[in-house]
């Protein structure tokens, strides 16, 4: 069975080349160079391409040729997202613009002083969303797998400097649970993905695009256990230099049955995912059999 293993592709040399191009020539020339890099992944990432072809052709109903074109566009937008991440975090001069839908919801969740959890998925640019959270006048904790190869991570840390949000790394000893609990105690916001899980993790099942799919139990269990308000957040790219940020209305799940709360929350989350995926299908960045 295909699954996700928590690691990203790329090499330190590749990142160095793109950072040099960005600093010397700017964003658009880096996008031009990216087109040639994308061709490599388009032709030699057969397994990943097969999985997203299934999404486009069998789940979303696109024709065969259109689905193949969308695979290339998908890889190209993924690469743009990585470039944009470096640009934003390193403070490289740029002309990016942003729309914010629902920022008032996040400001409201911060003023409730109850803590809060922001759930997202691998649709759009998660790193840009995390950067935009710095607009809020509260502490943001981002929970993630430390899946980047160590040399790449060290290089990017040197380029981008210290992040403006607190990073909580998921670890096998479950120490991240205590860090999340501490954040809620301090009335801080915790942001995490709710669409991927590592092999062996506990899961929940819901119908996603008319077929059962597994989702990680952890994010929904945390929200239900600590009884914190929830918002679903996404940042998608709408043109070369423009991003659109979405945050749903906050919801406090009042049901005393923890299992019922988690199922209701998962249902709401899946509904948001489907809406964003149908509107921005090329920005789905899960390269494994999501319905396995």
- 2-45 pLDDT per residue, tens: 454 445 556 667 777 878 888 888 899 999 999 999 999 999 99
Buried b (16+ CB within 10 A) or exposed e, 52-78: bbebbbebbebeeeebeebbbebbbbb
At 165-205, the pLDDT tens digits run 788 888 878 888 999 999 999 999 999 999 998 888 899 99
Q: How many domains does the chain have?
A: 1
Q: What is the dihedral of CA 196, 277, 125, 142, to 10 degrees?
A: -40
Give the Å distances, CA to CA, from 272 to 158, 175, 190, 209: 36, 30, 19, 12
DSSP β-ladder status, 230-239 and 242-247: antiparallel
Question: Residue 128: is its pLDDT beyond 90?
Answer: no
Q: Is residue 205 one of the residues assigned to a domain?
A: yes
Q: Mean of the per-residue pLDDT values for the chain?
A: 87
Mean pLDDT of 52-61: 96
Q: Is residue 3 one of the residues assigned to a domain?
A: no
pTM of the model: 0.89
Structure tokens at 43: 């032709």
- Domain hosting residue 94, numbered range: 12-283
Q: Is residue 291 one of the residues assigned to a domain?
A: no
CB count in 10 Å sphere of residue 291: 15
Q: Is residue 31 one of the residues assigned to a domain?
A: yes
Q: Is residue 290 one of the residues assigned to a domain?
A: no
Instruction: Measure the CA–CA gap between 207 and 43, rounded to whole angstroms.
Output: 32
What 3-state DSSP class applies to 108?
A: helix
Instruction: Measure the CA–CA gap between 119 and 271, rounded to whole angstroms.
Output: 13
Q: Is residue 119 one of the residues assigned to a domain?
A: yes
Q: Is residue 249 one of the residues assigned to a domain?
A: yes
At 241-283, the pLDDT tens digits run 999 999 999 999 877 789 999 999 999 999 999 999 999 999 9
What 3-state DSSP class applies to 227?
A: coil
Give the Å distances, CA to CA, from 60 to 88, 278, 284: 32, 8, 12
Q: Is residue 157 one of the residues assigned to a domain?
A: yes
């Amino acid at each position: 069975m295909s699954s996700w293993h928590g690691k990203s592709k790329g090499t330190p040399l590749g990142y160095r080349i793109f950072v040099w191009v960005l600093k010397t020539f700017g964003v658009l020339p880096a996008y031009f160079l990216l087109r040639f890099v994308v061709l490599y992944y388009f032709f030699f990432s057969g397994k990943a391409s097969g999985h997203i072809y299934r999404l486009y052709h069998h789940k979303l109903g696109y024709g065969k040729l259109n689905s193949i074109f969308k695979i290339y566009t998908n890889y190209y937008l993924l690469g743009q997202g990585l470039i944009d991440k470096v640009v934003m975090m390193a403070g490289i001069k740029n002309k990016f613009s942003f729309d914010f839908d629902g920022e008032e919801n996040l400001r409201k969740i911060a003023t409730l002083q109850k803590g809060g959890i922001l759930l997202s998925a691998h649709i759009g640019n998660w790193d840009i969303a995390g950067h935009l959270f710095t607009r809020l006048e509260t502490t943001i904790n981002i929970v993630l797998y430390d899946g980047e190869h160590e040399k790449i991570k060290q290089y990017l840390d040197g380029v981008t400097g210290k992040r403006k949000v607190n990073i909580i790394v998921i670890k096998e000893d479950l120490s991240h649970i205590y860090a999340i609990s501490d954040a809620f105690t301090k009335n801080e916001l915790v942001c995490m993905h709710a669409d991927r899980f590592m092999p062996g993790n506990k899961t929940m099942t819901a119908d996603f695009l008319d077929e059962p799919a597994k989702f990680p139990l952890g994010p929904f269990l945390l929200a239900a256990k600590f009884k914190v308000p929830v918002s679903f957040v996404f940042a998608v790219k709408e043109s070369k230099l423009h991003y659109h940020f979405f945050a749903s209305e906050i919801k406090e799940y009042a049901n005393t049955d923890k299992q019922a709360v988690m199922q209701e929350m998962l249902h709401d989350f899946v509904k948001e995912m489907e809406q964003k995926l149908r509107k921005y299908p090329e920005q789905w960045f899960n390269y494994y059999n999501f319905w396995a």
